Every structure is written in C-alpha cells, then in structure tokens.
C-alpha cells in the first residue's frame, strides 16, 4: 500500500527512489512510518512517513458532521452562539488541512533544524525534500533510545534525570529564544542518540510565540 502511495505521489515506482522498504515501524491515526534505504550512492537510511489511504475523506466526513452540529446548536442555543462553535469547527478544519499536507510538517522540521543546529544537546532529522510530497515525508533515519525506556537509557550509560532536564531546557530554549517550538514533545516523539543528544520526531504540531509573549513568559 505504501509503495502505491509513493508511486502516486511522485509519478514513478517506489523502487526508483528506495532500494529497500520495510513494513511499518510506527503507526498513528493519520500515517505510518517505514524504515527504508534510498537509491542514492551511497545509500542512506531513511524514515518514510506515508498518509493512510482515504484519511482525507474520513476527516472530511467527520468535519462535515461537526459543522452540521455546530450550525444546529447555534440556531437553537444562545450559549452555543456565544461560544462560536461554527468558527471553532472552521479553525479545526484549517488545522487538519495543514496536518494532512506533509510538506507543511517537512517545512516545520527544516525550520526547527536551522534554528537549533548549534544546540549541543538537541537535534532534528534532516528532511529529504527530493522524496517529500503532500502525502509522503522522507527524513533521515534516527537510531536512538526512546526517552520513556528508563531501563534502556540506564543500560546505555545515560541518566534519565539528566535527559529530563534536557527535554525541559530544549523546550524552553525553543519557545523563549526562538519563538518556534515543537509542541508535541511527548515521550513517543523523543529519542536519545548514541551521543546523548535529544532527538525529536513528528513535527505536525508546532507552536509560535511573538516577542511580546516571549518577554512576558521569560519575566514570570
């Protein structure tokens, strides 16, 4: 299925882009991630995120149902009109549209990479733009230990408490220094590489803070 999606996305067989392509190594509600090897010389290990077939139609159906509910609620309820449910659903639909375009996630990853490339304890995988499209995102493969695996971290010589400090420091640095931050830093999206650096994946949810808000937060 993933191979067919890649062929549709790029107009050529997946075998022309990847010399090896494994089954899903991670799965979420909208996409699956596969480990692959590119046809470059030399070949590179890659993580290939592919949207699930038909996911756009499923979201469209659910959003249409929510929009209908919101319109009916606002027609008969003063409280619903006050809460502006229709506008809320419209905002949700716009957010979903962005998340279903993997080029937007790739752009966010590239921006975060540029902003944090000098940070000693944090890194972002490189994006392979030649193998990225609306429904396919390709980045470098990350070998790392999940931050939630305390036993594995300890066995590799890493102090889980120090890793937790790096997580907090990385988030605050991105938010307060750059005003652009990974807004979905749950344990499933964070790994520790062989050098002890925190590596983030999945850039579908990002946040921005303007200078005024950053100054306010830094001063509280």
CB half-sphere exposure, 95, CA atoms < 13 A: 11
Q: Would you say 131 and 35 are in contact if contact means Cβ atoms under 8 Å apart?
A: no
Active site residue 184: yes
Q: Would you say 24 and 33 are in contact if contact means Cβ atoms under 8 Å apart?
A: yes
Give the Cβ contact number of residue 155 at 10 Å.
10
**Residue 99: CB partners within 8 Å, gap ≥ 6?**
30, 105, 204, 205
Beta-bridged to residue 206, according to DSSP, are: 182
Catalytic residue among 22, 101, 184, 193: 184
Largest alpha-carbon pair distance within the chain?
64
Q: Mind telling me the catalytic residues? A: 184
């Amino acid at each position: 299925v993933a191979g067919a999606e890649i062929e549709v996305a790029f107009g050529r067989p997946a075998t022309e882009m990847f010399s090896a392509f494994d089954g899903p190594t991670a799965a979420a509600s909208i996409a699956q991630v596969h480990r692959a090897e590119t046809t470059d010389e030399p070949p590179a290990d890659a993580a290939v995120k592919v949207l699930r077939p038909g996911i756009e139609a499923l979201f469209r159906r659910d959003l249409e149902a929510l929009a209908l509910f919101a319109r009916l609620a606002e027609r008969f309820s003063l409280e619903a009109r006050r809460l502006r449910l229709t506008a809320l659903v419209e905002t949700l639909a716009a957010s979903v549209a962005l998340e279903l375009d993997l080029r937007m996630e790739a752009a966010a990853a590239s921006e975060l990479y540029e902003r944090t490339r000098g940070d000693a304890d944090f890194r972002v995988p490189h994006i392979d733009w030649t193998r990225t499209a609306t429904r396919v995102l390709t980045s470098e493969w990350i070998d790392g230990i999940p931050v939630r695996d305390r036993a594995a971290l300890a066995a590799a010589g890493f102090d889980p408490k120090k890793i937790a400090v790096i997580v907090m420091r990385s988030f605050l640095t991105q938010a307060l220094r750059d005003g652009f931050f990974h807004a979905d830093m749950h344990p499933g999206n964070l790994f520790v590489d062989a050098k002890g650096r925190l590596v983030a994946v999945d850039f579908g949810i990002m946040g921005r803070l303007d200078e005024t808000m950053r100054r306010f937060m830094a001063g509280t």
